[in-house]
Chains A and B, each alone.
Chain A
Amino acid sequence: MTDDDRMDALLRQMAAEEYNRPPEIVPRELMWDAIQQGIGNGEPGIGGAPATVVPLRRRVPQWVYFAVAAVLLLAVGIQVGRLMGPSRDIAQVPERSAPDSLGRDSTGAPQNDAAPITEPNQLRAEVDRSDDGKGRPKPRPDPERFTNPNGMDEGTTRAYSVAASQHLTEAEAMLTAFKGDLSQGRMDAQISSWGKDLLSNTRLLLDSPAARDPVRRKLLQDLELVLVQIVQLSPGASTRDRDFIKGALTDDQVLTRLRTAIPLQKGT
């Protein structure tokens, strides 16, 4: 036996006796309770049906995130376009009737074809009003058909509504996952980054027409508050900090309100 072999044997023996020596009694029951909680109180025993609990994070398919992001981007784009575009709408341009054979309009005022058209909207209105090739004025779209009293078309309103619903669905999933982590006294790093994404989207929605509905606005504000606390929660946060968030979730009934606000989907 060489010196190296002897030293290896001694090292092995000493390491086995001293290095991170586990306790004699393994806390089996304690861990089993946590495991049961972790798999949703299912009995995963031998031969039994395998537990099919999937982490909440994975329940939301990847495409949902892309869809939410796309819808939000679209909604923001539309809103920016509306804010930066011309203030007058085509529908607001006073309609002028086709000139009669004497070149006068319905008010009797002579039509001045040579009059300069200065307003861009007016130009557009003129283009729209041009005849259909048979001498008849082209029919104009009914503005009421496309605009609601808030000045937004139905498509945009619906896009915001869908974006808000999807966002609330995701927030509900995240908060449920977070609550599960909270009860086990741990904090997954993914939850924190998920919370950050949700917080940004919540703020976007709060600044968008989706927050015009007072109930939804209040919900988004409460959600924002909870998300801020979650995002700021460090992995080594004290029990008091965690209880504080738990309290915010419970007192404001954020989760219950989220679930109420999420429309039922097919198959649920």
Chain B
Amino acid sequence: MLYDQHVDRVYRLAFRLAGEDDLARDFTQETFIRAFQRLKDFRSDSSFGTWIHTIAMSVSLNGLRKVKRFRTRESSLDDALTIGVVARRAEPDLKERLRQAIDALPEGYRTVFVMHDVEGYTHEEIATALGVQPGTSKAQLFRARAKLRAALADFAGEWVS
């Protein structure tokens, strides 16, 4: 069944991008609902997997933009309520710094980095799913890695040694 063949990969990618089970489930469900509703539009000149990943990326990125807008509003309210409270945080460790650095990447860079370096998609698959040229995907990955290296430069010494 199409669902069983593709659901794991779609869910994994959605989870990597969203970071939450609820959102990942929502995005996956929405992806399959849209796909089944538009099955008649599916042309067999590309594989179903490629097609469903195109839908998945559209659903996930749009969904994340909405969530981000909503959370930005919420956090600005929270900030307003906690003005004057000095937060004392421990220095985040490497994993946390890496997470923050990836989260801080521009959307396009982060998407390509997650798809290629984390989930192992090829540049051709990424290009089709995002509707860009493979060269664009490669360029964005290159820039994403450069930004991550810069963000984590203070750890570079201990890593490469």
Contact = CB atoms under 8 A, between A and B. Distances in A.
A73 interface: no
A6 B160 contact: yes
A28 interface: yes
Contacts of B19: 20
Interface string A31-53: 11011001100101110001111
Interface string A1-32: 00110111011101110111011001110111
B44 to A, nearest CB: 12
A186 interface: yes
B98 A19 contact: yes
B37 A51 contact: yes
A16 B118 contact: yes
A108 B100 CA distance: 101
Given A3-B160, A30-B25, A38-B29, A11 B145 contact: yes
A54 B29 contact: no
Contact of B16 (A20, A32, A35): A20
Contacts of A51: 36-37, 39
B70 A235 contact: yes
Interface in A164-205: 186, 189
B159 to A, nearest CB: 5
Contact of B37 (A32, A34, A39, A235): A39
A8 B29 CA distance: 33
Interface of B: 1-4, 7-8, 11-12, 15-19, 21, 24-26, 28-30, 32-33, 36-40, 66, 70, 94-95, 98-99, 102, 113-114, 117-119, 145, 148-149, 152, 156, 159-160
Contacts of A39: 33, 36-37
Given A6-B159, A10-B159, A20 B98 contact: no
A266 B122 CA distance: 53
B152 to A, nearest CB: 7
Interface string A214-237: 000000000000000000000110
B12 A26 contact: yes
Nearest to B14: A22
The residue among A11, A28, A39 with the most chain B CB atoms within 10 A of its own CB is: A11
A53 B149 CA distance: 47
B29 A20 contact: no
